[in-house]
Chains A and B, each alone.
Chain A
């Protein structure tokens, strides 16, 4: 459902992504691991359509459509979701109000009428339970004064409400205590089905114990240095990225 071919991206003249190839089918969960600054968030942002990134080569198809041509809000309405590494605060805008605006924006795009108030209420409560979120969070302003963990949980909550076809989770596990980590993983697992795809960016193989990926990729210096099964994550945990820090040929030899 998501096909990335030979993607090259520069930021302020510097090439951050240097030819990414990645194909994720419906129902699949792919994990991306890699050192700080290797380009993981850049990839996530380019998929979501954030400004400031220049695609110099390559293409990204989402359900067969050219994703790079669409403005970010259209990508979202097409069913693409990004759980942010650093969710931003929007003072004075109630979480609930924001979510309703988002749900209705997507519905409008699909030619559906605004969500029925009762239906929305039911959905919200069902999803709140899923991520064990407190009701008081609905009235609070979007992410304002939320703890690091609460912000991440709120991202998963929004994802659960919006029910995208494809979700990118950028370090959603960072800063979570062990209980919160399980809650977030449960939330993601509950959404896993034969149609929905996930790209999970993480530094810790621990998350992958809970969200078991189909494929693990190692992103180093803007390239996918290696792809493999879940065990690759364990291996990385032990050995770190030192082996990959040279040119890609070395990495392949090292792994052989």
Chain B
């Protein structure tokens, strides 16, 4: 408790400590969206023709679509012509060949964020890919991973170096027609991470991507593709921050995961995009499509997310359980305070026999925060003996906030077993008094109780991330007591 209360004290004054701007020369495409912009992005990345075609198809399809309005979030319409779709730190020549060649200003940015890029300083056992605005600026531990045949690099590099792999899997889980934001992403995505784990290989370290939006008036449209071949295992972490700005910024990412026979992918996110100020001005629109395909038998995909930032969060990391005996999991903590809005949840689509899924969602609302869980469990006729367990708990702090639960269950096979539990609670005066009577002060008591509430999710996170997540929640709840 001593540690955490000190953390609270030091962090209390800097409400959003990642709000700074890096002063660096950027190569930014003027705002606006049309086929020429897409051609320009593709050309800058020296992409093959098939990918440009794919982008253009996506763009043409996007023009026929309208923004979804079913989510329980409210925001003024986004002007897609006022956004710049590509921004990269300017670099001399071909870009950094090794970590030593990274612009020192960029390196300082990541140091400030606590993401050291130098390999010797990287948290033991975590390889990092850093995405700054539209491009990946550094990937650490590449050599060591390559020895095992693991590919971990920026998406652009993957397109250049492993075009067959990218072409084989890109869009197979989230097609370019999928939804408004995913389709936009397919047209304009700039960079992201690519991971391939060869058959039978257990990735020896956590892989991590750190996303940073820096430039103003830009959107960030990254794309992540992770393929775990037969019998492979990988644990992947994702973190995000952005400067404090008055205008809203759009972040529309796509993440695709593919797990073949016996493969297992664990994907963890700690999302701390700038949430806007206390009055609800500014902040990131986090409209993200994340989906995993359990293609092979006995495969497993597990999503864990701790969503604390963004003005609006709209995301539903999902699993398509096609392989027999495959397993999908979704563990989520979503915290909204001030005027933040979150509409998040998951979809578990059971196709194969004996497929199982688990959903654990914990929503915390404080201030005027609005938190909605939206989940779909769909059992197709082919999914003999499918099982799902869902648990959705909401914790309300104060009486101005809200929690909403929309569980949809759609069963087409009578052998399915589905269990759903939901609860809404408040931190009671009795619980607070009980803690205080044992010597624990109000702030510490609240974080203790909230951490207890989140425990089932935090325990799914890798160690360092769990500690990080716990501190982040404490920081976010600072001042919400009483």
Q: Give the interface of A toward B (CB within 8 A).
A: 48-52, 71-73, 75-77, 81-82, 84, 87-88, 90-93, 98, 101-102, 104-106, 108-109, 114, 141, 158, 162
Contacts and interface: CB of A to CB of B under 8 A. Distances in A.
A73 B439 contact: yes
Most chain A CB inside 10 Å of its own CB: which residue of B435, B439, B453, B455: B439
A90 B437 contact: no
A73 B451 contact: no
A52 B432 CA distance: 13
Interface string B1-18: 110000000000000000
Interface residues of B, number: 25
Given A88-B428, A114-B2, A101 B448 contact: yes
A71 B436 CA distance: 9
B438 A84 contact: no
B200 interface: no
B157 to A, nearest CB: 42
A98 B439 contact: no
Which 7 A-B residue pairs are closest in the complex by CB-CB distance? A92-B452, A93-B452, A102-B438, A92-B455, A105-B439, A76-B439, A72-B436
Contacts of A52: 429
Interface of B: 1-2, 428-431, 433-442, 444, 448-449, 451-456
A72 B448 contact: no
Given A72-B433, A90-B434, A105 B444 contact: yes
B434 A87 contact: yes
Contacts of B434: 84, 87-88, 90
A190 to B, nearest CB: 20
Contacts of A101: 1, 438, 440, 444, 448
B1 A104 contact: yes
B449 A93 contact: yes
Contacts of A76: 436-439
Given A84-B434, A90-B448, A93-B451, A105 B428 contact: no
A88 B430 contact: yes
Given A73-B440, A93-B451, 19 more contacts: A50-B433, A52-B429, A71-B436, A73-B435, A84-B434, A88-B428, A88-B434, A90-B431, A90-B434, A90-B435, A91-B452, A92-B456, A93-B449, A98-B438, A101-B438, A101-B440, A102-B438, A105-B1, A158-B438
B9 to A, nearest CB: 13
Contact of A141 (B1, B440, B452): B452
A99 B440 CA distance: 10
Contact of A73 (B2, B431, B441): B441
A77 B431 contact: no
A73 B436 CA distance: 4
A71 to B, nearest CB: 7
Contacts of A102: 435, 438-440
A121 to B, nearest CB: 18
Nearest to A97: B448
A150 to B, nearest CB: 16
